[in-house]
Amino acid sequence: AAGVIQSPRHLIKEKRETATLKCYPIPRHDTVYWYQQGPGQDPQFLISFYEKMQSDKGSIPDRFSAQQFSDYHSELNMSSLELGDSALYFCASTLLQDRGADTQYFGPGTRLTVL
């Protein structure tokens, strides 16, 4: 079965640079979520999109922005990178049917290292 695809899998950037993470949801899924998992931490919700509109927002820095495109893939743009942005970034997708009970399917993550 098709899974959530994230690219790149690994990314190394310097401080103050920008990074773009991409997420391709499972086909026919209409909702995408982004989570950040710091070293030894649990995943923290950043932002979500439903039918290309932002649906919820968590602890996402103002330096980050995201969007969902017409083909439902999503991109997380990160600017003025800081050392503390080094983390594993997960994308998850779902087909919204039973709000709250729907299973979120996670991608393998993008490991961002900021030097």
Partner 1 sequence: AQSVTQLGSHVSVSEGALVLLRCNYSSSVPPYLFWYVQYPNQGLQLLLKYTSAATLVKGINGFEAEFKKSETSFHLTKPSAHMSDAAEYFCAVNRAAGNKLTFGGGTRVLVKP
Contact set with partner 1 (CB under 8 A): 4, 31, 33, 35, 42-45, 48, 50, 55-56, 58, 90, 92, 96, 98-109
Q: Which is nearer to partner 1, 14 or 98 (CB)?
A: 98
Q: Residue 16 Cβ, how far from partner 1 at the closest point, in Å?
A: 28
Identity of the residue, 27 or 58, whose beta carbon is nearer to partner 1 in the bound complex: 58
Nearer to partner 1, 17 or 56 (CB): 56
Partners of residue 23 on adjacent β-strands: 6, 74
Task: Please report how close the Cβ of residue 8 comes to partner 1 at its closest, in angstroms.
Answer: 14
- Output 24 or 35, the one with its CB closest to partner 1: 35
Least distance from partner 1 to the Cβ atom of residue 1, Å: 13
Provide the minimum distance between the beta carbon of 86 and partner 1 in the complex, in angstroms, as a whole number.
Answer: 15
* 3-class DSSP string for the chain: CCCCEEECCEEEECCCCCEEEEEECCCCCCEEEEEEECCCCCCEEEEEEECCEEEEECCCCCCEEEEECCCCCEEEEECCCCHHHCEEEEEEEECCCCCCCCCCEECCCEEEEEC
Cα 58 versus chain centre, distance = 12
